[in-house]
Structure 1
Amino acid sequence: MIMSMIRALIKTMRPRQWTKNAFVLAALVFDRQLTHLPAAFRTLLGFILFCLISGAVYIFNDIMDAEADRHHPQKRLRPIASGALPIPTARGTAIALVLIIFPLAFYLSTGFGLILSAYFLLNLAYSRWLKHIPILDLLIIAAGFVLRVAGGVSLIQVERFSPWLYVVTTLLALYIGFGKRRAELSELAEQANAHRRVLDGYTLPFLDQSITIVSSSTIIAYSLYTFSAPNLPSNHLMMLTIPFVLYGILRYLYLVQVEGSGGSPEDLLLTDRPLQITILLWGIAVLVIFYSIPMK
């Protein structure tokens, strides 16, 4: 009984979605501090705290959405919606997590504690109200990614981190968000509004145009970063990583529009081999360029 409850709690906290919190590591990698053990340790702790607070947010979200989830073809199987996890147990666990996480966050850094607080409150507002407002719902999701990056910056003594990466993060998050909404709208068809109210404010043509705009902007912003950001290799080798970004964006677009996937971007990240290989090669290229070649 206890083990089944623990499994239900872990499932509700959505560990598969914690891959998003890898954005906390951006400052550590792009500021060339990956080999600096104190900075790496603080960033790792920050990553863990973001994972835990994300889990608490998902618990609160599922409590608020329990009734609606019971009418969704997939979400009805979630532990709270299905009744496998009692709401009082879920609520108590989420509150306990919050009471543990925030003192640790402020102990790491006051700035990090404030950023994590902003992330938590923003996501609660999103779960309760903002997720029902078209466009704003995706801007809030993008803000969550930017806060993750900012959280990583607040944990270390930054010297070389470029503001361009905030722009790229925002655009990439919007791109994935529009793709997710398109996949949901296509999958649920006429039943879309019954399962996610915000989908009533979107149409496939609008989403396709938005995806085109944001994907193009993401590629341009990343390209500008690779040859105009300070403290990059003087020979502009970072431009060699552009093809990986281009392929990754086109691959995700292919999965959304041709394969009909994309409703769960985290699942694509964990299951689509070409996308995984692209991200791996991009990561290797970035590490080689940043850690073996003199900067400007």
Structure 2
Amino acid sequence: MADTAVLPRAPERPGPPAPAPPGGIARGLLRTARPRQWVKNVLVVAAPAAAGQLFSRHVLTQTALVFALFTACSAAVYLVNDALDAEADRAHPVKRHRPVAAGQVPVAVAHAVGAALGILALTVAAWLCPPPVVLLLIAYLALQLAYCVSLKHVLVVDLVVVTTGFLMRAVIGGPALGIPLSRWFLITTGFGALFMVAAKRYSEAVRMAGAQGATRALLTEYTTGYLRFVWQLAAGVAVLGYCMWAMEAGGVPHSGLLPWRQLSMVAFILAVLRYAVFADRGTAGEPEDVVLHDRALALIGAVWVAMYGLAVANW
């Protein structure tokens, strides 16, 4: 019998996913909204905490409201982003398990729920918050949606947009409560955010190790040397900004036992140095994961919070 040549089968393209049952859609929407990322929105307490005005009933209520509004806006962005990227995510070894890419949430539903959340958040903000808060949320949504569509493909701009999202979270408590923001506070939070964003990108680039398509496509355009330069520069400016901010009230008389605000510089610098260990190793992933999974860093953070609390209480 003559040998029969067996032609190799052409690789099958991923077809459209099967529709999910109705109950699965709700769970999929929740997963797409990234509940683990909501911890980032705790940054809304930064401005009132820095001003020492966090513990009145009005401040706590307004801060909780702003946290909820920012959570709704960020969830809206995640839903729209996954709907836009559904086709590309299906070809990705990890992202194909996202609910929209996997078919658990239809693309149209993700778009509709995302739009509804964004509109609802802006409506509630217009009703219950000062106008600057509404404008800031509009700017956040516009910037993040532009990032989803095109800006995430632009070198350096992608870093700036993600950093700006962190900065907006940190400053929104100021206009929400009528608290003036120190220029050193803005510098510290802005460059601190850039430090963590660039450290995460650097870690992704190190893990990627030249494998095309293994992660963000734009990372092939960056060099690890450049990203290392960015996070090191940002760390230095953040430390300098914090020191200037802590010393800003250095000449004001205090009746406390020690100048806790100035001493908190030690804890802040130690935290940056500890975080830089993970950045240098290429293991700095999501900032909240780094902080919550490293006991030493969590302890340093707790010491910093205690020192600043003592400064605010003037003990």
- 2:289 corresponds to which residue? 267
Conserved 8 A contact 2:173-2:179: no
**Inter-partner Cα distance in structure 1 for 2:45 and 2:202:** 29
- 1:245 corresponds to which residue? 268
Amino acid aligned to 1:286: Y
Give SS of 2:145's match.
helix
Conserved 8 A contact 1:16-1:267: no
Q: Does 1:280 align with 2:302?
A: yes
- 1:198 corresponds to which residue? 218
**Inter-partner Cα distance in structure 2 for 1:253 and 1:244:** 14
Shift, 1:193, TM fit: 4.9
1:91-110 aligned within 5 A: 91-107=111-127, 108-110=129-131
Q: Deviations over 1:71-97 (max 9, x none)?
A: 333222211122222112211211221
Give SS of 2:31's match.
helix
- 1:139 corresponds to which residue? 160
Conserved 8 A contact 1:185-1:192: no
- 1:114 corresponds to which residue? 135
- Out of 45, 52, 68, the residue aligned to residue 25 of structure 1 is 45
Shift, 1:3, TM fit: 3.7
Shift in alpha-carbon separation, 1:230–1:92, aligned structure 2, 3 A: farther
Shift, 1:203, TM fit: 0.5
Conserved 8 A contact 1:168-1:218: yes
Shift, 1:58, TM fit: 0.7
**Inter-partner Cα distance in structure 2 for 1:250 and 1:193:** 32
Shift, 1:176, TM fit: 0.7
- Out of 34, 41, 47, the residue aligned to residue 14 of structure 1 is 34
Give SS of 1:280's match.
helix
Give SS of 2:91's match.
coil
- 2:110 corresponds to which residue? 90
Q: Does 1:152 align with 2:173?
A: yes
Conserved 8 A contact 1:75-1:81: yes
Shift, 1:221, TM fit: 1.2
Q: 5+ residue gaps in structure 1?
A: none
Aligned residues: 291
Deviates more, 1:167-176 or 1:65-74: 65-74
Shift, 1:31, TM fit: 1.8
Conserved 8 A contact 1:12-1:58: yes
- Out of 240, 265, 284, the residue aligned to residue 220 of structure 1 is 240
- Give TM-score, length-normalised by structure 1: 0.91
- 1:174 corresponds to which residue? 194
**Inter-partner Cα distance in structure 1 for 2:270 and 2:94:** 30
Shift, 1:47, TM fit: 0.8
Give SS of 2:269's match.
helix
Shift, 1:230, TM fit: 7.7
Conserved 8 A contact 2:260-2:308: no
Conserved 8 A contact 2:130-2:176: yes
- Give TM-score, length-normalised by structure 2: 0.86
Shift, 1:228, TM fit: 2.1
Shift, 1:6, TM fit: 1.8
Q: Which has the higher helix share?
A: 1
Q: 5+ residue gaps in structure 2?
A: 1-20
Amino acid aligned to 2:275: Y
Deviates more, 1:6-15 or 1:234-243: 234-243
**Inter-partner Cα distance in structure 2 for 1:216 and 1:62:** 35
- 2:89 corresponds to which residue? 69
Q: Deviations over 1:262-294 (max 9, x none)?
A: 23323223323222222222112211211234x
Deviates more, 1:14-23 or 1:235-244: 235-244
**Inter-partner Cα distance in structure 1 for 2:149 and 2:251:** 42
Conserved 8 A contact 1:5-1:85: yes
**Inter-partner Cα distance in structure 2 for 1:189 and 1:67:** 25
Identity score, percent: 32
- 1:257 corresponds to which residue? 280
Conserved 8 A contact 2:243-2:265: yes
**Inter-partner Cα distance in structure 1 for 2:199 and 2:253:** 33
Shift in alpha-carbon separation, 1:119–1:188, aligned structure 2, 3 A: same
Conserved 8 A contact 1:192-1:199: no
Give SS of 1:82's match.
coil
Amino acid aligned to 2:310: V
Conserved 8 A contact 1:53-1:120: yes
